[in-house]
Structure 1
Amino acid sequence: MDAATPIVELKQITKRFPGIVANDSISLKLHKGEIHALLGENGAGKSTLMNILFGLYQPEEGTIEVDGKTVAIDSPNKAIELGIGMVHQHFKLVQPFTVTENIVLGSEPRKGVKLDYKTASAEVKRLSEQYGLQVNPDAKIQDISVGMQQRVEIIKTLYRGADILIFDEPTAVLTPQEINELMDIMKRLVAEGKSIILITHKLKEIMHISDTVTIIRRGKVIDTVKTSETTPSELAEKMVGRSVSFKVDKAPARPGKVVLDVKDLTSKSKDGISVLDGLSLQVKAGEILGIAGVDGNGQSELIEALTGLRKVDGGAVSLLGQNITNLTPRKISEAGVSHIPEDRHKHGLVLDFSMSENMVLETYYQSPYNKNGFLNYEAIHEQAKNLIERFDVRTPSIQTKARSLSGGNQQKAIIAREIDKNPDLLIAAQPTRGLDVGAIEFVQQQLIAQRDQGKAVLLISFELDEIMNVSDRIAVIYEGQIVGEVLPEQTNDQELGLMMAGSTVKKGAQHG
C-alpha cells in the first residue's frame, strides 16, 4: 500500500431505517496518522455510519476498504480483526469488575483454564504508560471517575490491537480538565501511528485537534475540508444549514420574588460522607441561576434533593414559601417543579415507551389523559403531536420508541414535556450535554423564554460557556457547598475555574 492509499475508505455507504435514510451515499477517507472529525447535527447519521464501520449495522449499498482492500465487516469481531476499535458514547463496562477484567473481557489470556490475571494486568499497565493513560489496572470501575472509565474503553480497543480508533462523542461526559487530557491522549495515539475518526459536534474541539473535517447533514456529506482552512462559523453553517449565533440574545433579567429557597441543606452518602454540606441558595422568579462546578462536587445530589430523588438529613427546601423538603417526586412535581434530568436515559425517558407515552409520564394520571382509571389515548396522542410540532422533535411518528431517536431529539422531547407543565421552577441539569450547536441554541432560547415568562430557572452545567452565556447570576459549588456568587459580566473563565477548584471566594461576594 502506498502512502497515498487511505487506511480506511467508505464508498457510497447507504443505510435506511423505517421512514428514514440515515446515510445517503456517504463517502469518506481516513489516512494513516490523521484525526478525521465527523461533524453533524444530532440525528445527522454520524453514529450510524461509524456503527457500520464497526460492524454493528450492515449497509444496504456501498463498500468499505481497509488498506486498499474491499472488506465485509459483518460483526464487531470482524472489525477488531481488521484493527478497528470503537470507544462508544455510552460506555460498555461491567461496574463491579476491575479495570483489567473489563479490558480483557472476551479475549482473556489463560493459564490452563484459569484467567492469567497477572499477565493481563501487566499488559494493561504497559498500554496505560505507553499512551499516557494513567489508569490503575486493579481499580473497580464503580470507584473511578467517568473520565477514567473512558480511558479504560480506550485501552480496551488498544489491547485488541486497534490501529484505527473511532471515538463517538468522547467529550460529552467530561469536565474541561478531562477534555484537555483526552486531547493529549489522542495526539499521543496519532504520534504512535494510530488513526482516529472523531464523531463530535463541538466546534472548539474540532478546530483544536482534527486535521480534516467531514460535515454530514441529514444523512448526506455536505463537504470535506482541511481544518486549517476553515472557521467555526463556516463549519456551523454547513452543519445546520443556516448561520448560527454563538452569543445568547437576552434582555437583562427582572428578578421578582424568591421562588426556590434552599437553607443549610445537608445529605450524606451511603458511607457517611457529606455530599451536601450546609448548602444554601435562592432562585427568584424571572432569573436564571447557573451553578458552576467541577463534576462530583454535589451537583447531582443537589438536583436529587430538590426533586425528591434523595432524602436530605438536615436543612430545608421551600418553593414559594411552601416547605417541600423530602416530599415524593410526584408531590414536588405537582407543587410546580419541572426537571430536565442530567441523565436522559436513566431519569428522563422510558426508552421502550413510545414518544407519545413519554410525553405524559408525569401527568398520565390526570385529566384529560385519564378517564375513570383508563388512559385516554386520543388525548395523549393529541398532546404528543402538539409538543413534537412545537419543539421540532424529529421522529418518524409519535408511536416511535424513544430509544430510536437521536440524543438531541430525546432531549427536545424532555424539554417540551417539562416546559409544558408550566412550572414555577424549572431545574435544568446538563440540558445541552451531547447536543449540536443548532440544538444547543434552541435549548438555551427555551430556558431564557421561561425566565422571561417569570419562571425561576436553576441551570446546572459543566459547560462554562453555557454558564457564562445563559445565567443571570452564577453560584459556584465546591465540596457540597456554595462557595461564592458572581455575576457573569464581572467574571471570566479563569476566575470561575479557580473558585471551582476551591480557591477563596472573591471579595464582596455574599454567601447564598
Structure 2
Amino acid sequence: MANHDIDITVRRGTVHALMGENGAGKSTLMKILYGMQRPDEGTIAINGKQVQLGTPADAIDLGIGMVHQHFMLADNLTVWENIVLGGEKLHGMGGKAKAKIQEISDQYGLGVRPDALIEDLGVADRQRVEILKVLYRGANILILDEPTAVLVPQEVDALFDNLRELKAEGVTVIFISHKLHEVLAVADAISVIRRGTTVGDADPKTVTARQLAEMMVGAELPSPASRESTVMPDEMLGVNGLRIAKTDAEGIERVVLDDVSLRIRRGEVLGIAGVEGNGQAELVEAIMGMIPLDAGTVTLDGKDVTNALTRARREAGIGYIPEDRHRHGLLLEAPLWENRILGHVTETPNSKGVLLDPAGARKDTQRIVEEYDVRTPGIEVTAASLSGGNQQKLIIGREMSHDPKLLVAAHPTRGVDVGAQAQIWEQIRSAQREGLAVLLISADLDELIGLSDTIRVIYRGRLVADADPATVTAEDLGTAMTGAARGHIESEPDAVAEQKATAAEGTEAASDRSADDTQAGE
C-alpha cells in the first residue's frame, strides 16, 4: 500500500513542504497529483473544484507542473527541443519558442543554453532545464522533488529567492526535500508522511529540525561530524596531469579537465567540492576508465591503470557509486538480484569460473537487503519498484560487498532520508578504518566537511583551491566553488566554532537513537 488516508490542504501562494523517509509514499502522491497514476479512492480539488487527473496533460491544463527527482528528458535532443516537446502549440517550434525560452531563462537566472544537447549537460543544468520546461507551460502550481540536491549554498539561496518571487505572484509550490534546515528556511507550511499516510503538519516558525526528524523516521537528526584520522602513509590512488577535451553541439572544443593531479592515501577521504558541470563527472569517468584521456596517468595501489579497461579496474578493487543511479547504477526493469551482479560479473558470489552463479547472487542479494535495510518485498522485484533511497542503499551494499581498495562515491546520499544518511556515513567510516580510500564528490557541503580528511575545489576543470575540513565553513567553501577564492581556504575561527557546535548537536542527537528508533525504522 503506497498511499492510504492521505489528507493535505495546500493554500494558494505558499511554499508547502512535503517530508518523509525513503519509501514513505511522497513520490507516489506526487505522481497522482500530476496525473501519472490514478488513485483507487479519494478526491482532489483545485481552487475548490473537484478534478479528475487521468494524464499529465490533464494536470498541465490545470496549471500543475512537476520537476521530477529523476529527470524526464530526451538525451539526444537539444534543450529547446526538450522544452517545446509536447507544448508545440504554446509558442510554435521556431524562433518565437527559442526567444520565449531565453526570456524565461534570463528572468529567473537559470543560465540555460537552448542549443546545447541534453546528453552534454551535468545534473544541475538538467534540473534547470526541467524547471524551465514547467515555467514555459505556464504552471501556477509547481511540484519540486528534491530541487536543491545539486546546488551550492549560494545557488540554494537564489532558488529560494525565486520561489519567494513566484509565491508573491500567486504561484503555489509543493516542495519535497530531505534537507530539514532548507525546509525550515523556505516553507510556509510542512506536512509529514510516514508509511504512506500523513502523520501530521508542522509550523516552520515553531518546529525544530530535531522534531521534524522524529516525525519523519522516529530518529534524531544525524551529522557527518569529523572524527579521528585514519589516514595511512601509502598512496592508493594517484592522478597526474589529467587533460580531457570534448567537442560540444556547436562543434567547439571545450577543455573539461585541465592538468588535474591528486593523491589519495589508504584510509583517507578526499572530498571534491564544485558546482555541477565543472569537471567532476569527467574526473570520475577518467578514474573509472569510461572516457579516453588526452593526457595524464592514473595509478591504483602503485600500478599504472591508465590504459586498463573499466572491468579490469573494477576487478583491481575500485568500487563505484555513480551520481545518477538510473543512468549508470541500475537496470531498472531487472530484478534486484540481477542488479547485484552489475559491475562485478566475474567476481564471487556472482560467478563460478566462466559461468554466472544466479543462486549465489540471489543469496547475497538477500544479505545486502537485510544488512543495508533495503525496503523491498523481495529480491525478485524490479529495481524500478524501489524508492530512490532504497535503490541507493542497494548500490552501496553491492559496492561495499567486494571490499574495495578505492571507493569513488559521487553524491552517495543524494535523495536519501536522514536515517539512511547516517547508515551510509557509518558504512563509509567503518571501511575507512580498514584502509579504504575514498574519492567523495558531494553537493552537500556539510557532508563534505564532515567526512573528508582533505577537500579540493574544482572550478572550470581545474583544481583551484584546497581546504582543511577542520578550519573551513560551508559558506567559504561555497564561495570558492564559484571561482571567487583560490589557494588554501581558511574561515574565521568564530564561524568554524559555530559550525562545529551545530555539528556536535546533531551528533549528540544521532547517538540518542534507541530501540524505539529501530522499531520506527522497521
Q: Contact 1:95/1:140 (CA < 8 Å) preserved in 2?
A: no
Amino acid in the other structure paired with 2:58: K
Q: Matches of 2:274 and 2:111 in 1, distance apart?
A: 24
Output aligned runs, 1:31-430, within 5 Å: 31-95=11-75, 97=77, 99-109=79-89, 115=92, 117-124=94-101, 127=104, 132-133=108-109, 138-142=114-118, 146-248=123-225, 250-270=227-247, 272-371=253-352, 373-430=354-411
Alignment partner of 1:504 out of 486, 502, 510 = 486
**Residue in 2 that maps onto 1:5:** none
CA distance in 2, matches of 1:315, 1:150: 32
CA distance in 1, matches of 2:127, 2:37: 23
Match of 1:444 in 2: 425
Distance 1:257 1:483, change over 3 A: same
Q: Secondary structure at the match of 2:439?
A: strand
User: d(CA) in 2 for partners of 1:25 and 1:468?
Assistant: 40
Q: Is residue 274–residue 459 contact of structure 2 (8 Å, CA) maintained in 1?
A: yes
- Letter in structure 2 aligned against 1:261: G
Q: Which residue of structure 2 aligns with residue 13 of structure 1?
A: none
Letter in 2 for 1:293: G
1:8 corresponding residue in structure 2? none
SS of equivalent to 1:26: coil
For 2:194, give the aligned amino acid.
R
**Secondary structure of 1:197's aligned partner:** strand
Aligned AA (1:506): H
Distance in 1, matches of 2:352 and 2:212, equals: 50
Q: Is the 8 A contact 2:372 2:393 kept in 1?
A: yes
Q: Identity over aligned residues, as a percent? A: 44
Question: SS where residue 363 of structure 2 aligns?
Answer: helix
2:136 & 2:459 partners in 1: Cα distance? 37
2:238 is paired with a residue of what secondary structure? strand
Aligned to 2:5, which of 18, 25, 38? 25
Report whether the alignment pairs 1:480 with 2:461: yes
Question: Structure 1 pair 491/97, CA: closer, same or farther in 2 (3 Å)?
Answer: same
Q: Is the 8 A contact 1:395 1:405 kept in 2?
A: yes
Q: Which moved more, 1:330-339 or 1:152-161?
A: 152-161
Cα distance, 1:266 vs structure 2: 2.2
Aligned positions, number: 484
Change (3 A) 1:409 1:30: same
| Contact 1:124–1:137 (CA under 8 A) maintained in structure 2 | no
CA distance in 1, matches of 2:125, 2:288: 29
Greater share of strand: 1
Residues 1:54 and 1:279: Cα distance change in structure 2 (over 3 Å):
same
Change (3 A) 1:103 1:338: closer
Which residue identity does 1:248 align to in structure 2? A
Give the aligned residue type for 1:304. Answer: E
Report the AA paired with residue 433 of structure 1: R
CA distance in 2, matches of 1:59, 1:249: 45
SS of residue in 2 equivalent to 1:443: helix
Partners of 2:17 and 2:356 lie apart in 1 by 46
Q: What runs of 5+ residues in structure 1 fail to find an aligned partner?
A: 1-20
Tell me if structure 2 keeps the 8 A contact 1:265–1:314.
Answer: yes
Task: Give the corresponding residue for 2:506.
Answer: none
What CA distance in whole angstroms lies between the structure 2 residues aligned with 1:136 and 1:499?
Answer: 22
Change (3 A) 1:141 1:315: closer
Counterpart amino acid of residue 28 in structure 2: T
Contact 1:429 1:459 in 2 (8 A): yes
Change (3 A) 1:465 1:372: closer
Q: Which runs of 5+ in 2 are unaligned?
A: 491-522
Task: Assess, with a 3 A threshold, how the Cα gap between structure 1 residues 87 and 368 changes in structure 2: closer, same or farther.
Answer: closer
Give deviations 1:424-468, integer Å, cap 9, x for gaps: 111111111222222221111111111111111111112211111
Structure whose alpha-carbon radius of gyration is higher: 1
* Preserved CA contact (<8 Å) 1:109 1:119: no
d(CA) in 1 for partners of 2:353 and 2:412? Answer: 36
* More deviation, 293-302/48-57: 293-302
Q: CA deviation at 1:104?
A: 3.5
Q: What's the TM-score, normalizing by structure 2?
A: 0.86
Q: What is the Cα deviation at residue 395 of structure 1?
A: 1.3
Q: Relative to structure 1, is the Cα distance of residues 138 and 426 closer, same or farther in structure 2, using a 3 angstrom cutoff?
A: closer
How far 1:83 moved relative to its partner? Answer: 2.2
